[in-house]
Every structure is written in C-alpha cells, then in structure tokens.
C-alpha cells in the first residue's frame, strides 16, 4: 500500500522495548512522528535516532509523540534504547506487518537480508491523518528533519 498525504494512517499495535503494547490510537489528540529505520546499532540509524533524542524538546513542544519502528526484536531494542538513552519508544515490528502497511519494507537489503524496515518518516496528525510522508531511498541518508519540523510547526 502506498501511503499518501491526506489519507487515514494505518493503525497498529506493537510491543515496545519495555514489553508494553503500544498502539497508534493511543496518541489520538497528539501529532505522531513515526520513524521506520532498518536496524538497531547501525551507524546511520543511530545518527538518526540520536538527532531526535537530542532535540526531543522540539517534538514535545509541537505536541508530538515520536515512535521509532524496526523489525528488531524487543530484546535488541531494549539494549539499544538503554545504551543510547533514547527518550521515546522503540517498537518491534518483528512480524513486518506495520512496515509493509506503510510501504516501508525492503524486500532485499544489505548482506542478503530480507524484510528489513525501510528508512522513512511519517507525521500523523491529531485526527489520525497522514500529513507528511518520506521514504528515504539512500541507505546512508536520514529523513529531512527540517521539512519534518516545518510540518509539525504548521500543525500547531
């Protein structure tokens, strides 16, 4: 399914690194920044998520909840979150259903890995509608945080 701005965001429920179920619907009334990323502990993913961690006040001030999603297990995500001090939930899409629903799944990735989350960013507004969608095509690039921040500012 190709995600388009203006459509209702596909709902989901996933386990976070603390073994809690987290649903997109839990954040109705808030903006949500969803960041899909290929793999915990890789350099570009760490750079991306640390950028968000270090600027978390911006997202809080925009009434936005950040959610990081990868196909890593909850156990891997727990260690990754603890080691990096991430201050937002990391969700495990181990079964790859949410990544596929958001058209954010590589069929083939590096080292012959199959079914890895594609780096992408989505903003879901307070009503559950997609307001921003970006699929990052280069594996070493990160989402356009300037555009993300402009979109979030416009929603408030």
Q: Is residue 28 situated within a structural domain?
A: yes
pLDDT at 116 over 60: yes
Percent of the chain surpassing pLDDT 70: 94
Per-residue pLDDT of 5-38, as tens digits, reads 999 999 999 999 999 999 999 999 999 999 999 9
pLDDT, mean over the chain: 91
Q: Is residue 7 situated within a structural domain?
A: no
Q: Is 50 a catalytic residue?
A: no
For residue 104, what are the domain limits? 13-155
- According to the model, what pLDDT value does residue 140 have? 82
How many independent structural domains does the chain possess?
A: 1
Q: Is residue 22 situated within a structural domain?
A: yes
Q: Which residue has the tokens 């839990």?
A: 26
Q: Is residue 43 situated within a structural domain?
A: yes
Residue length of the chain: 156
CATH code for the domain of 17: 3.40.30.10
Q: Is residue 2 situated within a structural domain?
A: no
Per-residue pLDDT of 33-88, as tens digits, reads 999 999 898 888 999 999 999 999 999 999 999 999 999 999 999 999 999 999 99
Q: Which residue has the tokens 């990052």?
A: 136
Backbone torsions φ then ψ of 76, nearest 5 degrees = -65, -45
Among residues 115, 122, 107, the alpha carbon closest in space to that of 11 is found at: 122
Q: Which of 45, 52, 77, 130 is catalytic?
A: 45
Q: Is residue 4 situated within a structural domain?
A: no
Q: Which residue has the tokens 């095509």?
A: 137
């Amino acid at each position: 399914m190709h995600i388009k701005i203006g459509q209702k965001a596909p709902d989901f429920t996933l386990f976070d690194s603390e073994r809690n179920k987290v649903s997109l619907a839990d954040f109705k009334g808030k903006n949500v920044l969803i960041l899909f990323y290929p793999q915990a502990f890789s350099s570009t993913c760490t750079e991306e998520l640390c950028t968000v961690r270090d600027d978390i006040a911006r997202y809080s001030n925009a009434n936005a909840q950040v959610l990081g999603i990868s196909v890593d297990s909850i156990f891997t995500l727990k260690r990754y979150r603890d080691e990096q001090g991430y201050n937002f939930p990391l969700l495990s899409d181990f079964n790859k259903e949410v990544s596929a629903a958001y058209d954010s799944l590589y069929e083939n990735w590096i080292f012959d890995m199959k079914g890895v989350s594609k780096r992408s960013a989505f903003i879901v507004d307070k009503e559950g509608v997609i307001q921003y969608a970006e699929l990052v095509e280069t594996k070493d690039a990160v989402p356009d945080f300037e555009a993300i921040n402009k979109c979030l500012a416009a929603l408030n």
